[in-house]
């Protein structure tokens, strides 16, 4: 029996090797390009509109300013309507009502992407106001341009959201139907008996088990990959 962890959002895994890719925002991350000076004023102005809309509870405006993509440490994902509704609901539970930038901007995009087309981490001090109390902390907003306009992705709320919403019943649900095995004719092995459940410790991972067997004398290569899902994780 083989055990592997699969990221729910997007994973590409090969026979006998399933790699979970985690993109982390390190404290010592270095800028890989300089944002064009002519774009900074428009970025700063539109970012403040995005923050003020959260403070004022203007969630339709917030939704429109998320743009078409979720970008940054979660990768790059084209929003589905359900995905965007889920993310906005997270933001409503933990709105960022003020943000003071430290002036530090950096991008983890590959160097070949032009500076004006990258996504950018804008670091600063944020004030979050949930239903009770408030929290001031160092945080970030991801900014990106699309069709000549700035759009934003909030910090990753997924871990907090999952801890407060996922139940014991959810942990027992079988997610094997979210894992797809594709067969081709180049290897005498195949992957069978696939099972997948939420990992108890890291709720944005699927804990996947499977068996490998000979493919009845026929050459065949099994590639295990997850189907792109927007389940729970925004």
Q: Could you read off the pLDDT of 192-233 as tens digits, one per residue?
A: 889 988 877 766 677 888 888 887 655 444 555 444 333 444
pLDDT attached to residue 17: 26
Assign residue 105 the CATH number of its domain.
Answer: 3.10.450
Output DSSP code: residue 20: P
Query: How many structural domains comprise the chain?
Result: 2
pLDDT attached to residue 13: 32
pLDDT attached to residue 171: 84
Does residue 27 fall inside a structural domain?
A: no
Distance CA 233, CA 93 (A): 15
Average pLDDT over residues 102-125: 80
> Where would I find the beta strands (DSSP E) of 107-204?
119-128, 135-146, 149-153, 179-184, 189-198
pLDDT attached to residue 43: 93
* In a shared domain, residues 173 and 154: no
Rg (CA), the chain: 21
- At residue 9, does pLDDT exceed 60? no
Q: What pLDDT digit, counting tens, does each position of 155-195 carry?
A: 876 666 666 677 888 888 898 887 877 776 777 788 888 99
**31 Rama sector, left if φ>0, alpha if ψ -120 to 50, beta otherwise:** beta
> Where would I find the beta strands (DSSP E) of the chain?
2-7, 69-70, 77-78, 96-106, 119-128, 135-146, 149-153, 179-184, 189-198, 205-214, 221-226
Distance CA 8, CA 144 (A): 24
Q: Does the predicted TM-score (pTM) go above 0.75? A: no
* In a shared domain, residues 98 and 208: no
Of residues 30 and 167, the one with the higher pLDDT is 167
Distance CA 234, CA 230 (A): 7
Query: What's the chain's length in residues?
Result: 234
């Amino acid at each position: 029996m083989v055990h592997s962890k699969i990221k729910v959002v997007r994973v590409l895994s090969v026979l006998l090797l399933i790699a979970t890719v985690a993109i982390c925002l390190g404290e010592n991350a270095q800028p890989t390009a300089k944002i064009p000076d002519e774009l900074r004023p428009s970025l700063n102005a539109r970012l403040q509109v995005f923050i003020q809309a959260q403070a004022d509870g203007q969630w339709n405006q917030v939704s429109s300013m998320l743009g078409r993509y979720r970008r940054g440490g979660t990768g790059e994902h084209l929003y589905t309507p359900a995905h965007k509704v889920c993310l906005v609901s997270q933001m409503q539970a933990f709105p960022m009502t003020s943000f003071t930038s430290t002036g530090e901007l950096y991008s983890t995009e590959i160097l070949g992407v032009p500076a004006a087309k990258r996504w950018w981490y804008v670091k600063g001090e944020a004030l979050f106001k949930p239903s009770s109390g408030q929290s001031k902390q160092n945080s970030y907003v991801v900014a990106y341009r699309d069709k000549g306009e700035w759009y934003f992705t909030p910090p990753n709320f997924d871990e907090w959201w999952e801890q407060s919403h996922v139940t014991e019943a959810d942990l027992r649900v079988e997610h094997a139907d979210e894992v797809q095995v594709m067969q081709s004719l180049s290897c005498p092995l195949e992957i069978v008996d696939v099972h997948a459940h939420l990992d108890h410790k890291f709720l944005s991972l699927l804990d996947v088990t499977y068996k490998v067997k000979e493919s009845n004398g026929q050459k065949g290569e099994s590639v295990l990959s997850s189907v792109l899902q927007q389940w729970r994780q925004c």
